[in-house]
């Protein structure tokens, strides 16, 4: 993971040493203006909201890849779990509220649901790491880990999606809105309270994570593990503590994203596929394992998504992101913001 000594410092470094990053950021700015001009401010603001969510998803992915060298293909399922947990916590409360209205509970209920989802996600991550990845680590030979871990996540994804279909059925479960409030007007555009809260949750979570990683002992330990595993052990850091913690954090963040967006996406077994795709898109573009890049990348992709939907014909809407990705990889294979993951060119 790339975490230079300060955010300003890293931004400055990024601009001076990485031309592609500067170009992309400027391009994103231009694109935002174009989108706003053509579709209205609301489009731009909504892109920022969804962008924040993709940043939240992508950060977890980058973390798991950077610290544990695991390409997580079940990340979308954490999103799904978060959505379901939020639904099952919020819905009963919502029903009782209809008979016994209570302003305080009405305000707090969605937050409870979202927090519950985050906690559930964390526990899921801990469980998966300890029960599945730990034995895999013991049984894998050195060069096979990445492939084995990837296949394990594919298997997990299978079980989670189909298991959910089995137990809960494939029907969509959603809530029309979390908070019963009038949309706020931001920069002249009406934005629903749900979206604003989702954005705040995303930025808040990312901010909390950033603080955790930079300023706490354990957070620094996580960074150390991502840079040099053996060195970290030599410092007295217990990998068997760091791994489940990291995995749990990543899963929790994806679950928070799924829960916060329940009003938009609803909960169903395969809801995680699109967020999975977008999270991977962000991480590939920003640089594998680069957590700071994933944050910025999330917002870039948010705008890119909106712009594509707005300007590209329906026919090419799915193709353009891929073309952009190929172009990016051709020019900067290690990602726009650089990748710290063990080697880019084939080893």
CB of 314 to other proteins, least distance (A): 6
Distances (CA, A) of 95 to 88, 109, 143, 197: 11, 11, 53, 21
Q: Which stretch binds other proteins (CB under 8 A): 22-30, 80-88, 155-163, 259-267?
A: 155-163
**Binder to other proteins among 154, 184, 208, 331 (CB under 8 A)?**
154
* Rounded CA separation 331/287 (Å): 13
CA distances from 160 to 82, 98, 276, 333 (A): 12, 33, 14, 32
> Is residue 238 classed as helix, strand or coil in its secondary structure?
coil
Minimum distance of other proteins from residue 67's CB (angstroms) = 13
- What's the angle, vertex CA 298, arms to CA 293 and CA 304, rounded to 5? 120
Shortest distance (Å) from residue 260 CB to other proteins: 25
By C-alpha distance, which of 21, 82, 63, 61 is closest to 280?
A: 61
The residue among 54, 278, 270, 275 whose CA lies nearest residue 172 is 270
Total number of residues that touch other proteins (CB under 8 A): 73
With respect to other proteins, which residue has the nearer C-beta, 265 or 280?
A: 280
115-134: contacts with other proteins (CB under 8 A): 132
Q: Which of 108, 166, 200, 331 binds other proteins (CB under 8 A)?
A: 166
Using CB under 8 A, which of the segments 3-11, 19-27, 98-106, 189-197 binds other proteins?
3-11
CA separation for the pair 229, 55 (Å, rounded): 26
**Subset of residues 61 to 80 that bind other proteins, contact rule: CB under 8 A:** 71
- Cα separation of 347 and 343, whole Å? 7
Q: Which of residues 86-115 bind other proteins (CB under 8 A)?
A: none
The values of phi and psi at residue 291, to 5°, are: -75, -45
**Alpha-carbon radius of gyration of the chain:** 20
- Residues 173-232 touching other proteins, rule: CB under 8 A, are 217, 220-221, 223-224, 227-228, 230-232
Task: Provide φ and ψ at 190, rounded to 5°.
Answer: -80, 125
Which of residues 45 and 278 has its CB atom nearest to other proteins in the complex?
278
Judged by beta carbon, residue 112 or residue 325, the one nearer other proteins is 325
Task: Give which of 77, 48, 47, 43 is closest to 60, Cα–Cα.
Answer: 77
Structure tokens at 130: 């300890």
**From the list 88, 239, 266, 308, which residue makes contact with other proteins (rule: CB under 8 A)?**
239
Using CB under 8 A as the binding rule, whether residue 8 contacts other proteins is answered as no
Cβ-based nearer residue to other proteins, 95 or 217: 217
What's the gap between Cα 184 and its chain centre? 26
Of 253-312, which residues contact other proteins (CB under 8 A)? 273, 277, 280-281, 284, 288
Which of 15, 23, 170, 200 contacts other proteins by CB under 8 A?
170
162 near other proteins (CB under 8 A): yes
Rounded to the nearest whole angstrom, what is the least distance from the CB of residue 293 to other proteins in the complex? 13
Shortest Å, Cβ 135 to other proteins:
5
């Amino acid at each position: 993971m790339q975490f230079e000594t300060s955010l300003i410092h890293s931004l400055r470094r990024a601009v001076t040493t990485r031309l592609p990053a500067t170009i992309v950021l400027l391009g994103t700015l231009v694109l935002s203006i174009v989108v706003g001009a053509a579709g209205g401010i609301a489009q731009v603001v909504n892109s920022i909201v969804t962008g924040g969510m993709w940043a939240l998803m992508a950060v977890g992915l980058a973390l798991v890849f950077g610290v544990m060298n695991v390409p997580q293909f079940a990340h979308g399922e954490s999103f799904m779990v978060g959505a379901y947990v939020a639904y099952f916590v919020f819905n009963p409360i919502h029903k009782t509220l209809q008979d016994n209205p209570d302003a305080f509970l009405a305000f707090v209920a969605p937050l409870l649901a979202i927090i519950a989802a985050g906690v559930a996600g964390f526990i899921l991550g801990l469980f998966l790491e300890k029960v599945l990845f730990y034995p895999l680590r013991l049984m894998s030979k050195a060069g096979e880990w990445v492939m084995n871990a990837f296949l394990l996540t594919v298997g997990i994804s299978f079980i989670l999606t189909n298991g959910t279909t089995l137990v809960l059925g494939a029907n969509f479960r959603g809530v029309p809105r979390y908070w019963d409030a009038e949309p706020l007007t931001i920069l002249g555009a009406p934005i629903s309270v749900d979206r604003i809260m989702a954005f705040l949750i995303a930025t808040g979570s990312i901010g909390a994570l950033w603080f955790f990683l930079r300023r706490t002992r354990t957070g620094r330990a996580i960074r150390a593990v991502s840079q040099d595993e053996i060195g970290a052990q030599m410092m007295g850091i217990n990998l068997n503590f760091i791994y489940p913690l990291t995995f749990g954090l990543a899963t929790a963040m994806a679950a928070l994203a799924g829960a916060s967006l329940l009003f938009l996406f609803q909960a169903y077994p395969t809801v995680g596929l699109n967020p999975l795709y977008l999270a991977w898109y962000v991480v590939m573009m920003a640089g594998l394992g680069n957590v700071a890049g994933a944050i910025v990348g999330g917002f870039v992709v948010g705008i890119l998504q909106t712009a594509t939907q707005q300007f590209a014909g329906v026919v090419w809407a799915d193709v353009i992101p891929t073309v952009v990705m190929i172009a990016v990889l051709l020019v900067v294979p290690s990602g726009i913001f650089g990748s710290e993951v063990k080697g880019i060119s084939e080893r």
